[in-house]
Amino acid sequence: MAIDRGLEARLKAIEARLQMLEDDRAIRELLARYGFNADYGRAKEYVDLYTEDGVMNLGTIVTRGVGYEGIQRWEGKRQLMEFITDPRAHKAIEGRCMHVQGNNLVTYIKGNEAVAESYSIVLLREENDTIVRSAGFNHWTLRKVNSKWLIKERKRRAIGGEEYREVITATKA
User: Which residues of the shown chain bind a copy of itself in the complex (CB under 8 A)?
Assistant: 1, 3-4, 6-7, 10-11, 14-15, 17-18, 21-22, 24-25, 29, 31-33, 35-37, 39-42, 45, 62-65, 95-98, 100-106, 117, 119, 121, 123-125, 128-135, 137, 158-162, 164-165, 168, 171, 173
- For residue 87, the minimal CB distance to a copy of itself (Å) is 19
Closer residue to a copy of itself in complex, CB, 55/97: 97
Dist CA 144 CA 172 (whole Å) = 21
- For residue 108, the minimal CB distance to a copy of itself (Å) is 12
- For residue 94, the minimal CB distance to a copy of itself (Å) is 10
Closer residue to a copy of itself in complex, CB, 137/149: 137
Q: Is the dihedral of CA 147, 148, 152, 153 positive or negative?
A: positive
Query: Residue 122 pairs with which residues in a beta bridge?
Result: 99, 134
Closer residue to a copy of itself in complex, CB, 70/173: 173
- For residue 76, the minimal CB distance to a copy of itself (Å) is 20
Q: What is the dihedral of CA 83, 84, 89, 93, to 10 degrees?
A: 180
Closer residue to a copy of itself in complex, CB, 51/118: 118
Q: Where does residue 149 rank: exposed (0-12), middle (13-18), buried (19+ CB within 10 A)?
A: buried
Pairing relation of β-strands 50-58 and 72-75?
antiparallel
Closer residue to a copy of itself in complex, CB, 16/111: 16
- For residue 41, the minimal CB distance to a copy of itself (Å) is 7
User: Using alpha carbons only, what angle is made at residue 60 by residues 55 and 65, rounded to the nearest 5 degrees?
Assistant: 135
Query: Residue 143 pairs with which residues in a beta bridge?
Result: 113, 150
Dist CA 58 CA 136 (whole Å) = 9
